[in-house]
Amino acid sequence: MSPLSCQHIMTMDDLMPEDITTILDTAESFKEVNERRIKKLPTLRGRTIINLFLEPSTRTRMSFEIAAKRLSADGVNMTASASATVKGESLRDTAKTLSAMACDLVVVRHKYAGAPQVLAECMDAHVINGGDGMNQHPTQALLDLFTMRQHAGRLEGLTVGIVGDICHSRVAGSLVPALNKMGARPIIIAPPTLLPARPDVLGAEVATSLDAVLPELDIVYMLRIQMERAAGMPFPSLREYARFYGMNEARLAAANPGMLVMHPGPMNRGVEVSSAVADSPRAIVLDQVNAGVAVRMAVMYLLLGGESGGAVA
């Protein structure tokens, strides 16, 4: 029996605050394994994990693959160009096909919101959402919480400004509820054209001036402009966007001296974050990547029936 209260991790709604704490605590022990010379545990030997990535991905796909290998699972990876979806196969038929191969867990990234739910309805395997359209990206939010807790020592009471393309971002879609569940204070900061039509529904405070709220932030979380999802250019120019919403050295100097900078990657240097800031010790972007492997090991392990705390021999 999994210690988590859910079968699948499709959105942050699936996770109670206790589940999140269990995942973060379990990930701590896997992080320790990732620092060993031999980074492998026999925990998921004989279990089959399919990574079904039907949208581009570097970090997320690689870290799920590495996580599965470090737990000794049999991992199989499928990308859009290599799958029968390009021949017109429906997601339901793909799901039934994978189910017939008796896999235990499927990680899915898809351009359509709700694709993980479709898979979960058609198969017995556990499903983890690796990012569905503009909807959610729950393991990104979990690794972000892990990184924040690692650096700040707590989540409760942290003020986190999430800056940029809120309306097209699945990262914001998961991070806002994740922070709320853990007692932090999310503020979404964007030009009006990049806010959702009903920003209040997300459950965060809203600001349109980064400079006005900057001194209040413990963490600033910069988002990439999702040009591939926007209908047109949502502001006059990238230069103008960078001037008002980019994190640069002047803003870092004006911020609270301990403020940390986060980004889910891929970064567009010179747009949402300057190179000097991206490479500064205040940016903890690579710690996020590092946490991604441990957190994904934790969710795979826990969904497949592992006990909390019993992860590492």
Site string for ligand NCD, 104-133 (x = CB under 6 A): ---------------------------x--
Question: Whole-number minimum distance, CB 309 to ligand NCD, in Å?
Answer: 28
SS (H, E, C) 36-69: CCCCCCCCCCCCEEEEEECCCCCHHHHHHHHHHH
* Torsion sign, CA atoms 297, 302, 308, 310: negative
* Nearest approach, Cβ of residue 143 and ligand NCD (Å): 9
CA distance 98 to 91: 11
Judged on CB neighbours under 10 Å (0-12, 13-18, 19+), 267 is middle
Whether 87 is a known active-site residue: answer: yes
Is 109 assigned a catalytic role? yes
Is 224 among the residues that bind ligand NCD (CB under 6 A)? yes
60 part of the active site? yes
Residue 81 near residue 55, CB atoms below 8 Å? no
* 264: contact with ligand NCD by CB under 6 A: yes
Does position 265 bind ligand NCD by CB under 6 A? yes
Contacts of 39 (CB under 8 A, 6+ apart): 33, 70
Q: Which residue number has the CB closest to ligand NCD?
A: 224
Q: Which is nearer to ligand NCD, 41 or 52 (CB)?
A: 52
Other C-beta atoms lying within 10 Å of the C-beta of residue 73: 22
Size of the site for ligand NCD (CB under 6 A): 10
Q: Do residues 107 and 77 lie in contact, with contact meaning Cβ atoms separated by under 8 Å?
A: no
Q: Does 61 bind ligand NCD (CB under 6 A)?
A: no
Rounded-to-integer distance, Cα 8 and Cα 6, Å: 6
Distance in Å, CB of 177 to ligand NCD, minimum: 16
Q: Is 51 a residue that touches ligand NCD (CB under 6 A)?
A: no
Q: Give catalytic residues, as residue numbers.
A: 59-60, 87, 109, 137
Query: Which residues contact ligand NCD (rule: CB under 6 A)?
Result: 59-60, 131, 137, 140, 170-171, 224, 264-265
